[in-house]
Chains A and B, each alone.
Chain A
Amino acid sequence: MQLVAFAIKTLPAEVKSNWQRSLIIILCLAVGIASVAAVKIYTDSAISYFKDNVKEFFGADITIVLPSELTNDQQNFLDYQNLGTLTYISDYNQVAFNPFNRQNNMPVQVTVIDPEVYPLYGSLELVDSSSSKALLSETQAAIVSASLFEQLELKMDSLVIVGNTPYVIRGILQETSVPDGFMGRIYTATPPQAEIGNLGSKHAYLKLTEEKDIDTAKEEIAFYFEEETISTYVEISSHIDTSAKILGNVALIASLASLLLGGLGVANVAQVIARQKIKQSAIMKCVGGKTWQITFLIIIQIAFVGLIGVLFGFALGWALTGVLPTLLKDIISISIPIRPNINVFLQVSLLGLLVTVLFALLPVLRFTKIRPLAVYRDENPERLLSKNSKLVTALIVLLLAAIFGLFIGFIIDSPAVGLGFAFATLILTSIFLGIIKLVLKLILKLPIFFGTSAKMARRSLHRQYGRTSGAILALAFGISAILLISFIQTDVLNFMHSLRDDQDTPNIFALLDSESGPSSESLIEFLEKDDRLENVTSMKMLTASLETVNNRVYDASQASDPRSSILAKAFLIGAVDPKNMPTELNYTKGKLLEQNNEVVMEEYIATSLGLKVGDKIGFLIGENLREFDLVGFYSNMQKGINVTASSYATNEALQGLNPAFSTELLFARTKPGIAGEDVISTLRANFPNLGFAFDVGQLITLFDTIFTAISRFMQFLGFFALVSGLIILAGTMILAKWEKRKETALIRCLGGTTKDVINVQLWENGILGVLAAGIGIWLANMLSMLINVYLLEIEFVTRPLTNLFAFVLVLFAVIVVGAISLSDVLKERPLTVLRNE
């Protein structure tokens, strides 16, 4: 304790005499901590915001999904319950039309409510902040979502047609939730006319009276309704918590990269500080100091400087949370109030301190193990360092990694992941540092160093390649992260777009409801007349369940995939004409579908169920058990977006069966340059009772948006790693400044000009830059290729221009940072330097 007090007391003088080094520590940590803090503050604020407002989002304490027909008991229970306030909500899936242009339409969810009591919590937020209660008390009045209002070009106090029910628009909903995608919303007290469209669902929403306990209330309800149909806000809250935590942790781990890189910078500085304190350490040993005490003193002082960096970083991170919503605005449109709490602050600060101490420990320990005899040596005291054994060093490193891993594990609630992350990082970093040192060594051996400047640069690089390799690693990592994400993003999006634009794949799908919707014949007839389309086909799909395999009852527990028991119950068999398939199947095993007793199956589903080509399988379709030979597998994977069935059999084999549910799927392909959306609008305009229809283009646009926002976010984190790299590089150069000074003075004394001095620097930084850029770009390309080929199974394209651009950019940045950090050396007179020695 006395030691700590002493360390703190003497800290200001220490920092003053070492201000450049302290500054490097502060910057290294601040950048890393900023990225961690920004992510952590934002995700924690988001989680607590959702949890605090869960009742408003959920709308009730308890909801019940009501069956289409209530039993008398159920009806009685609902009528006479004394749990609290109850209100009914019915959702209808419909199509909304502009009254003057039916072509201008959009699917909507119509929510019919009782304006007197709905919502039970919060209020419907309208753009002009008027009260929904007053507006909706009028019949046919409606409140519409902003996206519907805009897309259909509607007007206030004018009409919107839903199905064939007219509503008067009295209010516009403020967009506060996740964007609607391509579904509008309407709130009204008047139900739409029933014969068109379908009733999606009906719910009872319940707000408990004060004295009712949520669990007992649920039990009471469960007496009348099925358990699965009842949900409570507590369950929703814990769902939100779990999924948000997973997302937050992924982001946190990504953001840790720059903090760890910052740690490398701290290690560099710690080493220099400790080396400079060799003599002092020896003196302290002469007056009775032990190695651990001296190490502790130095580490405490470094940690305090680190703490300044951490605080600074936290503030910066907090400020940056202002940027995150902009980056993520396409996927999270709610503005989340940012509330950094003391817990986050403590966690992040501790993390920063931990990184500082862990990374500083070994370099410091190396020098505090000096023998006290060094007090007698003014030159080369390093000869008196006792050598650490490799084994002990390795053990210490492992121990430090374990401590770090456990701490991360503590933050993200999963020690295993934390430890795994720590050790994986350790291994990868060692490998890459090894590679970088090796490559640097090899480059220094190349016969390219002609002339004095080049040779001096080589000497200087040789002297400090241990330290520079950390900077190179950080830079390479940063640039490769940014490049890799942009590569993957463009490759995936290009692939998606090529799918959308591929004339052989259908891009319009409609799922027809056999009971209330239009008949498939009339639709096909209509579509075939539309000259914007080609290839209109349809396919009947039946539900079936897998009952027997090779004449034995199918046992789901033997399959590899835990979901297979559900998969086995929910087969969709497409009925097709083998000679005229609606979509081309991509066969991977076995043969094509030909005979009536044959079936082909999607490979992924089949293998998860444990089925093989050649198996004899029995499907229960409606009341009938039908036996088929499983003759082939096809894969949906390479085909990308493709609405297909999980297996196919011939039309004839499936004729005359009455499955529990059957549907007709319609495929069509627009001609080049025609937007699928427009065709669907026409369809809806003519068949208002059309079930579910969508256009691949719209899906891809949605995917684009989400994917781009995530990529942007990851690149933002990658950018921090790049900045860390530059700071470490500048740090390394400043640390070696003294040597640089001597060298420069020497060049000058030997008659060299400023140009020669600059030349040496250009050589030196040029090599570092080439190395960092080269390794970073190589890494990005290699990873991108591996990911494309093995994971995404899409083509990898080399991008010479982007690579060249990144290369030049990094090289330039390194040279500029080098020039800035050493600019004052250039101005010095040689005499001052040599005299100072």
Chain B
Amino acid sequence: MEIMRTIELGKTYRDGEKETEVLRGINLEIDEGEFVAIAGPSGSGKSTLLGLLAGLDKPTVGQVFIGETEITTLPENRLAKIRGRMLGFVFQSFNLIPTLTALENVELPLILNGIADAKKARELLDLVGLTNRSRHYPNQLSGGEQQRVAIARALVCDPPIILADEPTGNLDSKNSKTVMDLLISLCEEKQKTIVLVTHDLDFASKAQRTVHIEDGRIS
């Protein structure tokens, strides 16, 4: 059963006269519960693709489906709802909100999506092993800890899909391993669909399938 699908997806950035074609003719199908890695050199368009999959940006041509829904034509507020219910994000640069504590950062999606489940956030902090860091602010946490908070945040609304853009990019090898193990266990134990962007082939090899991107095409 596929949960994400793209048809002839293409993206061209237009900056005044200058046009850069970043992605073209991407046809990708991702099954429910699958762990897919997207690999490729820097500048190949991995992040752009991930952004299109999540509806953060609009494609120039082509379509993106999440489940049965075609998201490319949806208005921003419907997209926000879909992001809230279906997708969890993990970024390279953690992107935690500095004035919120770890716990509050994890609570935020619950509140924005109107989910009244006060215990959920704490459960997820337990899951990522940060039970006693809940009252710390991001600047009081190590990089690895911050990324685990970010993962907890991505999971808190219980979305079926996790999109991770180089989640280990800013981490040392030990922390990277912790994060990777966490993602793998999510796929194996909780049947989450995971889309991992990385240029580390070592990590990519741990996925069930690796999609290589070069010059904006699947190679």
- Footprint of B on A, CB under 8 Å? 2-3, 6, 9-10, 13-14, 17, 279-280, 283-291, 293, 371-373, 375-376, 378
Contacts and interface: CB of A to CB of B under 8 A. Distances in A.
17 contacts: A3-B112, A6-B108, A10-B99, A13-B101, A14-B99, A283-B97, A285-B80, A286-B95, A287-B88, A287-B108, A287-B113, A287-B157, A289-B108, A290-B77, A291-B77, A293-B112, A375-B95
Contact of B84 (A2, A3, A280, A287): A287
Interface in B118-170: 137, 153-154, 157
A283 B76 CA distance: 14
B114 to A, nearest CB: 7
B24 to A, nearest CB: 19
Nearest to A287: B109
A283 B154 CA distance: 11
A13 B157 CA distance: 25
A292 B154 CA distance: 21
Interface string B38-53: 0000000001000100
Nearest to A292: B77
B100 A10 contact: yes
Interface in B55-70: 56-57
Given A6-B107, A14-B99, A17-B99, A373 B77 contact: no
B51 to A, nearest CB: 6
B112 A13 contact: no
Given A2-B116, A17-B98, A375-B95, A10 B80 contact: no
Interface residues of B, number: 35
Given A288-B85, A375-B91, A3 B111 contact: yes
Identify which of B47, B54, B108 gathers the most chain A CB atoms within 10 Å of its CB. Answer: B108
Contacts of B107: 6
A595 B51 CA distance: 99
Identify which of B76, B80, B88 gathers the most chain A CB atoms within 10 Å of its CB. Answer: B80
A375 B97 contact: no
Contacts of B98: 17
Interface in B73-93: 76-77, 80-81, 83-85, 88-89, 91, 93
Contacts of B101: 13
B104 interface: yes
A289 B80 contact: yes
Given A373-B51, A376-B47, A376-B51, A6 B97 contact: no
Contact of B56 (A2, A9, A286): A286
Identify which of A13, A279, A375, A376 gathers the most chain B CB atoms within 10 Å of its CB. Answer: A376
A286 B77 contact: no
Given A290-B80, A376-B47, A284 B108 contact: yes
Contacts of A10: 99-100, 104
Contacts of A371: 56-57, 76
Interface of A is mostly: helix
B69 to A, nearest CB: 15
A378 B93 contact: yes
Nearest to B106: A287
A712 to B, nearest CB: 46
Nearest to B159: A288
A284 B47 contact: no
Contacts of A372: 56, 80, 83
A288 B137 contact: no
A10 B104 CA distance: 8
Contact of B83 (A9, A279, A280, A287): A287
Given A286-B54, A287-B113, A288-B85, 10 more contacts: A2-B114, A3-B111, A6-B108, A285-B80, A287-B84, A288-B81, A289-B112, A290-B76, A371-B76, A375-B95
A756 to B, nearest CB: 35
A293 B112 CA distance: 7
A283 B95 contact: yes
A284 B108 CA distance: 8
A18 to B, nearest CB: 8
Contacts of B111: 2-3, 6
Given A2-B116, A373-B51, A291 B57 contact: no
Nearest to A369: B76
A287 B86 CA distance: 10
B56 A287 contact: no
A287 B112 contact: yes
A290 B76 CA distance: 8
A287 B153 contact: yes
B99 A373 contact: no
B113 to A, nearest CB: 5
A286 B157 contact: no
A286 B114 CA distance: 15
Q: Which 9 A-B pairs have the closest CB atoms?
A: A288-B84, A287-B109, A289-B112, A373-B56, A288-B113, A372-B56, A13-B99, A290-B80, A6-B111
B100 A13 contact: yes
B157 A288 contact: yes
A375 B56 contact: yes
A371 B81 CA distance: 15
Nearest to B96: A283
A10 B100 CA distance: 7
